[in-house]
Amino acid sequence: MAPTASVRLADGSIAARRGLLAGLLALPSPLRQRLAGPPAVLDGQLLDVDTQLVLRLQRLAREDGIERLPVGSGWMPSRG
């Protein structure tokens, strides 16, 4: 059985993941919105489409958010 896309993404190299993210963020706005899902509103504020897309990709890759990592290592994934 072939591994799922989320497993392949999680196992991919940092450079490949950056390239994928850069490619997705370079797509036209309507397409990015469609990939990101329905608009997310919190406290009356609309979440930016790119931020929403990155968060969705993070969930699909089954990665913990930086808020769930230990304080000493939480900054590392977000530094790039």
Q: Is 45 helix (H, G, I), strand (E, B) or coil?
A: strand
pLDDT at 39: 92
Domain boundaries, the chain: 5-79
**pLDDT per residue as tens digits for the range 24-71:** 999 999 999 999 999 999 899 999 999 999 889 888 877 766 677 677
Query: Residue 52's CB: how many other CB atoms inside 10 A?
Result: 19
